[in-house]
């Protein structure tokens, strides 16, 4: 059994498992986008209806971000991680048994509830086992797994869909996730602090636990009112529109507008995720090494560059140009992801990291609800992707402007106030 408190090697193994868990979550999530055209054909669904299917997941996923982080802060990360993986894997399997549009929406909604606790709990797991100085770099490296999973997904899912059909593909992926949850449960010892407890006869311990709970609740409320955290959340909401919009609709765009077949889509769509995984892995290090106290400049620049190359991507004359510019878009928007995920681990005490990450990821996943739905409606209304891509570019403008309002001095003040806590 791996005990993350026993040494460097054990901590590394926990990190590897958390990284693998993120990869699996993105394979499960990307499967619906890759199968979207097949599902739409089987159920006779319009782009607007398919947008609702995609957005149902992100609505519940977003709703679970802050509660999932709070539970991980309160009870430790392991229980949230295991329950989350098992739950979302079960509903990945059940996606293959959907029999109507309504059943598909309900299954994907519940799927989102299960997966929603994982991001904040996994970053909380990093905060539990690594010292403060290492957390920003490792948090960014951990979330780079999002794009490794997204890179792997088409290579895994597209052949499964072609060989087995989309229903059996979902079943196979779901079973693999359940097995992984059991591995984590058996081989990883709990890494977080446990909740203070007391026997029935120990009144002093009971009163101490109650006082601790009240203080934690007050601190959490203060965190939820922190303007700096809401600005970070809003930046990632804007970039999340781009992130989730492209993740959801690029396979369908390449199939229907650029006239590629599913095999070609499965080969080409992973390429931008390679760029994204590299930039996310390096983003936390770049921020702490070269932009300490200047985080807003890095975020602002990356948001603006993302918008420019998003325009170049959509107006490219060739498929090669589309993929090349999409790769640049994914590179710079993923630096922003690294920044917004690393900042809470830099400025917040360990006991609040889960909730802080949950706040930021709430913005991104709320964008995941908005972007596929709005893009589907725009495509249905205008019978083209023109307005949908204009919507994505507008989101980068919002993120750029909000980045400008982030006060570097506030980051330094919060960091200084919490630097003494392990």
Query: pLDDT by residue (tens digit) across 365-419?
Result: 788 778 888 988 898 888 888 899 999 999 999 999 999 888 755 555 555 555 5
Cα separation, 102 vs 84, whole angstroms: 23
Residue 413 CB neighbours (<10 A): 13
Burial 386-403 (b: 16+ CB within 10 A, else e): eebbebbbebbebbbebb
Residues comprising the chain, all counted: 422
**What is the three-class DSSP state of 2?**
strand
Query: Does the pTM of the predicted model rise above 0.95?
Result: no
- Band (189; pLDDT cuts 50, 70, 90): confident
HSE value, Cβ hemisphere, 13 Å, CA-based, for 250: 31
Is residue 151 within 8 A of residue 274, CB to CB? The reply is: yes
Model pLDDT, residue 410: 56
Residue bearing the bigger pLDDT, 153 or 1: 153
First vs last Cα of the chain: how many Å apart?
25
Which superfamily does 8-192+226-418 belong to?
MFS general substrate transporter like domains (1.20.1250.20)
Rounding to the nearest 10 degrees, give the CA dihedral for residues 193, 115, 233, 299. Answer: 100
Query: pLDDT by residue (tens digit) across 257-293?
Result: 787 766 666 667 677 878 888 888 788 778 878 887 7
Query: pLDDT by residue (tens digit) across 66-78?
Result: 788 888 888 888 8
Q: What are the boundaries of each domain within the chain? A: 8-192+226-418
């Amino acid at each position: 059994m791996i005990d993350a408190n026993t040494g460097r090697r054990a901590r590394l193994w926990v990190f590897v498992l958390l990284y693998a868990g993120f990869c699996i979550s993105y394979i499960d999530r990307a499967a619906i986008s890759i199968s979207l055209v097949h599902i739409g054909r089987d159920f006779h669904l319009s782009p607007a209806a398919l947008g609702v299917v995609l957005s149902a997941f992100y609505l519940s996923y977003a709703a679970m971000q802050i509660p999932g982080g709070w539970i991980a802060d309160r009870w430790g990360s392991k229980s949230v991680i295991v329950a989350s993986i098992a739950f979302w894997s079960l509903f990945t399997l059940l996606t293959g048994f959907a029999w109507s549009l309504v059943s598909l929406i309900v299954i994907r909604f519940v799927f989102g509830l299960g997966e929603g606790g994982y991001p904040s709990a996994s970053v909380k797991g990093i905060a539990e086992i690594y010292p403060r100085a290492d957390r920003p770099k490792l948090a960014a490296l951990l979330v780079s797994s999002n794009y490794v999973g997204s890179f792997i997904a088409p290579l895994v899912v597209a052949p499964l869909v072609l060989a087995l059909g989309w229903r059996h593909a979902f079943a196979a992926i779901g079973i693999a996730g359940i097995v992984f949850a059991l591995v984590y449960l058996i081989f990883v010892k709990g890494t977080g602090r446990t909740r203070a407890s007391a026997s029935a006869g120990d009144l002093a311990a009971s009163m101490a636990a109650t006082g601790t709970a009240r203080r934690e609740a007050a601190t959490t409320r203060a965190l939820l009112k922190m303007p700096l955290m809401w600005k970070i959340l809003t930046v990632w909401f804007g970039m999340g529109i781009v992130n989730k919009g492209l993740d959801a609709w690029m396979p369908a765009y390449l199939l229907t507008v650029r006239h590629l077949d599913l095999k070609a889509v499965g080969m080409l769509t992973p390429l931008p995720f390679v760029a994204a995984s590299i930039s996310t892995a390096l983003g936390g290090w770049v921020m702490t090494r070269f932009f300490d106290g200047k985080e807003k400049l890095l975020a602002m620049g990356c948001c603006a560059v993302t918008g420019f190359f998003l325009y170049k991507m959509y107006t490219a004359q060739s498929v090669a140009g589309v993929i090349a510019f999409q790769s640049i878009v994914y590179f710079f928007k993923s630096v922003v992801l690294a920044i917004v995920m690393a900042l809470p681990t830099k400025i917040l005490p360990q006991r609040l990291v889960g909730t802080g990450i949950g706040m930021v990821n709430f913005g991104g996943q709320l964008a995941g609800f908005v972007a596929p739905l709005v893009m589907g409606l725009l495509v249905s209304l205008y019978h083209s992707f023109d307005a949908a891509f204009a919507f994505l570019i507008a989101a980068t403008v919002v993120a750029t402007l909000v980045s400008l309002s982030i006060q570097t001095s506030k980051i330094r003040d919060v960091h200084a106030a919490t630097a003494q806590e392990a």
